[in-house]
Each structure stands twice: as structure tokens, then as C-alpha cells.
Amino acid sequence: MLTQKRITVTGGKGFLGRHLLKRLASAGCLHLEVADLPEYNLTDIADIRRMYEETNPQVVIHLAAKVGGIGFNQDKPAELFYDNLIMGTQLLHEGYLRNIEKFVALGTVCAYPKFTPIPFKEDDIWNGYPEETNAPYGLAKKMMLVQSQAYRQQYGFNSIFLLPVNLYGPGDNFDPRSSHVIPALIKKCFDAIDNKSDSLEVWGTGSATREFFYVEDAAEAIYLATASYNKSDPVNIGTNTEISIKDLTELIVNITGFTGRIVWDKSKPDGQPKRMLDTSRAFKEFDFMAKTSIHTGLAKTIDWYSQNRHLLK
């Protein structure tokens, strides 16, 4: 039972963090703390130790990450590697030293090899090198899986490792310098409509496929895993469906009401060719199955952005 546990969520002010805290509260969890900037710089060991002392958690759910889209990954590979590696390693180690009951680590689909067979199965995670633009981020996050398994083997420390696919939803990051594909496309459509533009430029060829995971479904998966999953075998969390970037773009264009043409900048990278997870382990281990279709999730996200975009400028 989580309701009486002292739970600290790193990155709790972020996109996924806000939705997860809402889900935990709705489940009756009474003792929730947030560890995030500016109060805690989780790349700093002194701040990590202070966080553990001040929030005194029994359970830590580590969502905090430095993350962005393809452009951000190309511009900041060293920062993405170091910041994510140092956060995860030190947070888990300090949790072990304090004998906390459980550490929940959030990995990333970027940890998978570039040419992983579809759908991605957890047992394939070590069968190759990640897609190059994502590799520093993906490998840094994947080290938490190694650490989780090593600390369970040597110390009996209870930590788990979840592999979410690309998230989206209300409250996403719409900053064009670091946003992922769905919020970036939504913003481009609204900007084009505002500017009365007759065209919309999109990176790549549109042929790459992706799986997109509505943020409220992701929060539910993390809640269920935190409540009942206690192994260090990695677990995919997602929808077990995929859509091409071309079809996704056309869907967003239709929902936003943009009527111009789409121009594909084929000089820009597509990223990993295909991404879709096998989510059968999540259903088997903690009875999770995503409920929100891509059309429903996009409609809710676009509606949220339409109502809140004036606050984001």
C-alpha cells in the first residue's frame, strides 16, 4: 500500500511529474514530496543528500531528466550524457545508503538499439548500439538498469526500471528549442495559422514510425508499477501501437485546422527508423494497458495548447 508511504518524486514540477503527482494523490497517497529545480540541483551530490535528509522518503520515483528532441540531442550530447548519468547514479546510490524501501527509475525508449526488431522486447535492449543522435542520452539512462540489477544482486536493494516510449499530452514542453515532435508540430500549426502561412516545414522524410504514449496513461503505469512491481527486469510501458511521422503530421494538421501544404525538409534526420514497444510484460506483471488512442490524446493536447498558449510565450 502506497497511501501511507513517504514518496519523493524527482522532476515533480515537470510534464510527467505533475500528472504522476495528481495520480498518486487521487489514489490516496498522503505524503508526497517534490525534488526539482530550483530547490534541488540533482546533479549535485550535496543537494541530493540534502533532499534525502529533508524529504526522508521511503520511496523515490526518479523522473528528473535533461531531455529534448533531435535538434537538442545534436547540440547538447555531452550535457545529456553527464547530467542524466550523474543524477541517476547518485540518487540510486544514496537511496541504497539510506535503506529506502524502493527506487523507481524511469529509462527511455532511446536506450534500445537503432535497429531493434519491431516490437521492441525488453530482452533486445543490449543487442546493439542506440540511434546515434539519441545515444548519449539513452546510454546514460540505461546505466540505471545496470545499477538496479547490480545493487539488487549484491545488496538486495529494491529498485525497478521502466522504459516509457515518447510521451505527449496537456502541459507538454512547447519550447521549439527543446520540444519533441508532437508539441513542436502543434505549435508550428498554430503559428502558421496565426501568420496566415500557406505552408508548414517538417524535418525528415515522414517515413519514420513512432509510438506515442499519452501522459495520463504513463502516470497510471508508473503508479501501478510502484505499487506492485518488485523486480529489476526492465519493463516497457507504452501503447503497443505505431504511427508514421507523415500520418501523425497530417492528423495534427487536420485537428488544428491548418489548411496549407506540408513541406518535408529531407536534409534533416529522421532519427531512429522505427519505434514500437512490446508491452506484454507490463500487462503480465502489473496489469497495465494503455487506454487513450492517439486521436483522442492529440485532441486533448491540442485543446489544452489552444487554451493555454498565450501563457507560454
Rounded Cα distance, 30 and 48, in Å: 23
**Residue 182 pLDDT:** 96
**Grid cell locating 121:** 522486447
Domains and CATH numbers, the chain: 6-171+212-240+275-292 (3.40.50.720)
**Residue 1 pLDDT:** 83
Rounded Cα distance, 157 and 307, in Å: 45
pLDDT digits (tens, 9 = 90+) for 180-228: 899 999 999 999 999 999 999 998 999 999 999 999 999 999 999 999 9
For residue 60, the cross-strand partners are 8, 103
Mean pLDDT of 21-29: 98
Average pLDDT, rounded, for the chain: 95
Whether the CA torsion 65, 68, 70, 71 is positive or negative: it is negative
Q: Is residue 69 scored above 90 in pLDDT?
A: no
**Residue 245 pLDDT:** 96
Mean pLDDT of 271-295: 94
Mean pLDDT of 32-58: 98
What positions carry a catalytic annotation?
A: 137
